[in-house]
Structure 1
């Protein structure tokens, strides 16, 4: 049996054990369905929500916020990271303010974004940009500055211009660090979007979590949470696949089983 087959069996087996324990817990302790429904009962509700008219709008809203915010935040992180890595003056000038923006709890910033940008997607995208920007910027700085001194000296001897340095050396050296930042940022993007939706929104899976809480609908809350987890898993797997393709030449991929 291949390693992928063994992994699949392990994942499915773990899921079945979890569902069995869930059923045993609900049955043994007579947990009311409004607190925690049985697996089969919840599965019926889950399918019902997925086939409900308008439910896809909430999934689409969250995916849109994550995708747009991640793209813009990543691009900004790469650009800022590169210029800050190349200039000590710029780093000393901007880093304190960037760090302050990251230190502030996102749950406290989200209401400000809702006030400034409204209940629509813009406020959530802005929050996603904020949480995605920092890890990519930091990893870009680390990657650019990871170029060895010997390589720098060689480039100087060869009289390589800025473009040649960037394309031939700085990109290959920084890619492993940048890809790690992108993988981390995928999970941050989901967190940023959900926090924004829970503070104030017209649609989205985070909005459904709050709506389910207000209406005491545990099935709606669980459905939204599971969908968010699935989205997070898919995004992480996609970023891992991209990393494997982009860094197929790097030694780090040899350690991945």
Structure 2
């Protein structure tokens, strides 16, 4: 028993050491990149009019914060992302369940979902603006179009890949379709569903930014478009950096939820 305990302690220390190495390495890469970027800018080895610099990005962020517009634009983008993410997640899950539960419906609908998923959504942007109007609704709708189909496909593929032995075992006990889903299909695909949501949140963010670039007077996508129009590269890069941070935080939250669910189940 004591031998096992010592081995377990060594294993835990190894895991902690690996996590520390990964975190330090990630942080070091970012710091190294920012330092090189700033040095190149300070010594005029790169054109800061075209590439900006970390110090100018920081100054632009502080300026936006002081004017009160920073959190306004972030809040609008986050609102649009979360609404489209929630709708796409619910729709994607429900439609995937329907497709799994009915083979005929699946055979009819699946080709259309594949085709719609492969369509270039950017090309539909002007049409969406004409149909829905240049508003928050059109941005959410565009993000929904980008994220919902890939969510359906990923979750549905997970459902149909469930171990057939589990399903046959439940069928031998006269289990209903709903019981098979709740006892075998859903528990087996919690990881798949969470992974689909990870992709969904990224696609929702991409869709929202695309929509804001086309039809918005607010949001981080608007700041990127406005900055490019007035040749303010500092504003463009600042907005992109903030988007990167938001994307990471949203992914981190879903990843944290996934780990908690796996630990619970």
Shared fold, TM over 0.5: yes
2:125 and 2:251 mapped to 1: Cα distance? 24
1:24 corresponding residue in structure 2:
39
Q: Does the Cα contact within 8 Å between 1:146 and 1:173 map onto a contact in 2?
A: no
Matches within 5 A, 1:89-100: 89-100=104-115
User: Could you tell me which of 242, 248, 252 is aligned with 2:263?
Assistant: 248
Superposed CA RMSD in Å reads 1.9
User: Is the alpha carbon distance of 1:97 and 1:142 closer, same or farther for their aligned partners in structure 2, counting shifts above 3 Å?
Assistant: closer
1:215 corresponding residue in structure 2:
230
2:216 corresponding residue in structure 1:
201
CA deviation string 1:103-160 (max 9, x = no partner)? 2212111221122212221111111211221222112212221232322222122122
User: Could you tell me which of 192, 197, 200 is aligned with 1:182?
Assistant: 197
Q: Does the Cα contact within 8 Å between 1:143 and 1:176 map onto a contact in 2?
A: no
Matches within 5 A, 1:35-184: 35-184=50-199
CA deviation string 1:82-115 (max 9, x = no partner)? 1112222212222222222222212111221122
- Secondary structure at the residue paired with 1:177? helix
- Secondary structure at the residue paired with 1:247? helix
CA deviation string 1:148-185 (max 9, x = no partner)? 23222221221222332222112112222212111111
2:216 and 2:128 mapped to 1: Cα distance? 11
Q: Does the Cα contact within 8 Å between 1:146 and 1:174 map onto a contact in 2?
A: no
Of the structure 1 ranges 178-187 and 19-28, higher mean CA displacement relative to structure 2 is found in 19-28
1:227 and 1:92 mapped to 2: Cα distance? 42
CA deviation string 1:16-69 (max 9, x = no partner)? 211121023224444443223332233122211133223322111110110000
- Secondary structure at the residue paired with 1:202? coil
1:227 corresponding residue in structure 2:
242
How far is the alpha carbon of 1:201 from its aligned partner? Answer: 0.9
How far is the alpha carbon of 1:215 from its aligned partner? Answer: 0.8
- Between structures 1 and 2, the one with greater helix share: 2
User: Is the alpha carbon distance of 1:176 and 1:8 closer, same or farther for their aligned partners in structure 2, counting shifts above 3 Å?
Assistant: closer
- Secondary structure at the residue paired with 1:34? helix
Q: Does the Cα contact within 8 Å between 1:74 and 1:136 map onto a contact in 2?
A: yes
1:61 and 1:114 mapped to 2: Cα distance? 18
Q: How many residues align structurally?
A: 250
2:255 and 2:184 mapped to 1: Cα distance? 23
2:53 and 2:196 mapped to 1: Cα distance? 39
Gaps of 5+ in 2: 1-12
Gaps of 5+ in 1: 251-257
User: Is the alpha carbon distance of 1:160 and 1:52 closer, same or farther for their aligned partners in structure 2, counting shifts above 3 Å?
Assistant: same
